[in-house]
Amino acid sequence: MRSPLAHVVIIGGGFAGIAAARGLANQRVSVTIIDRHNFHTFQPLLYQVATAGLEPADIAYPIRTIFGHQKNIRFRHGTVRSVDQERKVVLLSDQREVAFDYLIVATGTVASFFAIPGAREFALPLYTLADARRLRNRLLLSLEAAEVEGLHQRPRLNFVVVGGGPTGVETSGALSELIRIAIRRDGLSLRTDEVRIILADVAPRLLTAFPERASTYAKKELESMNVEVALRRGVVEVLEHSIKFDNGEELDTAAVVWAAGVTVNGTVAQALAPTSGPSGRAIVDGDLRLHGSAHVWVVGDAAAVPSGRGDLCAQLAPVAIQSGRHCAEQVLNVIGGRPTTAFMYHNKGIMATIGRNAAVAKLPRGGVITGILGWLAWLGLHLWYLVGFRNRLRVVINWTWRYFDWPSGPRLIVADVVSDD
């Protein structure tokens, strides 16, 4: 028999979906969270998993465990294919249907390859935990292969990171540290000057969302870590073992990391309405309801979230958390027969770390912090938002260990990508 309580279905257990579910916990509604992964991923630290600083389990947390003690919240593992808004059902890839009274779509984004030939096939994006593990395997396998090659001739090892936003900057810095530690601690006979890390972006500066001072600082720090910063450099093609740039240069590559951008095109959220906003983001009203819908909300990265000040919010974790929380309140308002209220984003600033001791933070009022102060702020904030005390503790221990440069770090090539023979 169906529960008399309104059934709220949340698609996506990322920052937005989890925040929405938390807002509905212990309320007189029945909630089902559907996610294709049985865990919540802390995306801002994916690059640390990819560069062997953290374990996958440090930055992921089972969704069932998060809500284990909440009687009105259930989890369903599955991939949503589409939404039938007329029949109010969600259609899963196993052909089953889940009926809803109210729907919250929090499906995030996917990597955007900008139709650059070969990028989808050969570049390595960094968006899911599986991506991070795949990238880590590739990086470590490349180092091992270069070591073998080095017994016969001097190896050439080029890693190209495409995209000079926070993910590209953070990944390049961490990759440089990984290589330094692998050479210094793991006894690889490679020399640091035999390995090149190139961070390429078509923009004239790194971190374009930050003030220019932060870009200059990030470039200088990366260069001091032997990362070559190639600005105004567009990628025209990615091949299996090389990359071509718009200046005619073709470079052999051990790995191309794709940190060039994200899109909502092709996802469940984009298909909700015939027209969508920038990068396929769903167009929502002030109260975050899908434009023209009475029962469907879209939040987080998947939506073109209005900031409440006349512009759209960036696709950031604090936006996802605040919009998820706000939408839960609006669902309860609608159920309770109260008017909904408009979302107003509280700017928390933005940050990017460059390596140990170096980070840039843009404060809500526009000021910039760099250096160790920025790094400590970054550290504290990321620990605060990590889900689960166990994860926080493990990350603190791992980071402290690594800070003092002991030979730590999960530099393991896992068996499922290496032939067992």
Ligand X SMILES: Cc1cc2nc3c(=O)[nH]c(=O)nc-3n(C[C@H](O)[C@H](O)[C@H](O)COP(=O)(O)OP(=O)(O)OC[C@H]3O[C@@H](n4cnc5c(N)ncnc54)[C@H](O)[C@@H]3O)c2cc1C
DSSP 8-state symbol, 284: B
With a CB cutoff of 8 Å and minimum separation 6, the contacts of 409 are 52, 53, 178, 181, 398, 402
Instruction: Quote the least distance from Cβ 63 to ligand X, whole Å.
Output: 8
Among 17, 118, 164, 409, binds ligand X (CB under 6 A): 17
Determine the size of the site formed for ligand X (CB under 6 A). Answer: 33
Instruction: Quote the least distance from Cβ 103 to ligand X, whole Å.
Output: 13
Q: Does 320 bind ligand X (CB under 6 A)?
A: yes
Instruction: Quote the least distance from Cβ 9 to ligand X, whole Å.
Output: 11
Among 255, 257, 268, 272, binds ligand X (CB under 6 A): 268
Residue 170 is among the residues annotated as catalytic for this protein? yes
Euclidean distance between CA atoms 363 and 370, whole angstroms: 11
* Choice between 91 and 335, CB closer to ligand X: 91
Give the pair of three-digit tokens for residue 209: 């969302």
Instruction: Quote the least distance from Cβ 338 to ligand X, whole Å.
Output: 26
Helix crossing, 15-24 with 317-335: angle to 10°? 30
The two beta strands, 195-200 and 157-162, are parallel
Q: Does 349 bind ligand X (CB under 6 A)?
A: no
8 A C-beta contact, residue 233 and residue 202: yes
Give the pair of three-digit tokens for residue 243: 């990359």
Tell me the residue number closest to ligand X, measured at CB: 14
Euclidean distance between CA atoms 49 and 57, whole angstroms: 9
Q: Does 301 bind ligand X (CB under 6 A)?
A: yes
Which residues face 360 on adjacent strands?
352, 370
Instruction: Quote the least distance from Cβ 124 to ligand X, whole Å.
Output: 12
Q: Map the footprint of ligand X across residues 44-83, applying CB under 6 A.
A: 44, 46-47, 79-80
Angle (nearest 5°) at CA 381 between 346 and 207: 75
Instruction: Quote the least distance from Cβ 176 to ligand X, whole Å.
Output: 17
* Residue range at the interface with ligand X (CB under 6 A); choices 43-51, 209-217, 336-344, 366-374: 43-51
How does 373-408 read in b/e, with b if 16+ C-beta sit within 10 Å?
A: ebbebbbebbeeebbbeebbebbeebbeebeeeeeb
* Residue range at the interface with ligand X (CB under 6 A); choices 182-190, 290-298, 316-324, 361-369: 316-324
Locate the DSSP E strands across 79-145. 80-84, 89-92, 97-99, 102-105, 110-111, 124-125
Q: Does 315 bind ligand X (CB under 6 A)?
A: yes
Among 53, 164, 300, 374, binds ligand X (CB under 6 A): 300
| CA distances from residue 15 to 60, 79, 315, 324 in whole angstroms, order as listed | 12, 18, 11, 8
Instruction: Quote the least distance from Cβ 109 to ligand X, whole Å.
Output: 6
* Residue range at the interface with ligand X (CB under 6 A); choices 36-44, 199-207, 236-244, 327-335: 36-44
The two beta strands, 97-99 and 368-370, are unpaired
* Choice between 17 and 118, CB closer to ligand X: 17
* Choice between 76 and 180, CB closer to ligand X: 76
Helix crossing, 166-185 with 212-224: angle to 10°? 20
Among 6, 8, 9, 11, binds ligand X (CB under 6 A): 11
Among 108, 155, 355, 374, binds ligand X (CB under 6 A): 108
Question: Is 290 strand, coil or helix?
Answer: strand
The active-site residue out of 170, 177, 221, 329 is 170
Instruction: Quote the least distance from Cβ 151 to ligand X, whole Å.
Output: 36
8 A C-beta contact, residue 15 and residue 300: yes
Q: Does 14 bind ligand X (CB under 6 A)?
A: yes
* Residue range at the interface with ligand X (CB under 6 A); choices 143-151, 218-226, 297-305, 327-335: 297-305
Give the pair of three-digit tokens for residue 367: 């000021």
Q: Does 165 bind ligand X (CB under 6 A)?
A: no
Catalytic positions, written as ranges: 170
Write out the residues near ligand X by the rule CB under 6 A: 11-17, 34-37, 43-44, 46-47, 79-80, 106-108, 126-127, 166-167, 268, 300-302, 315-318, 320
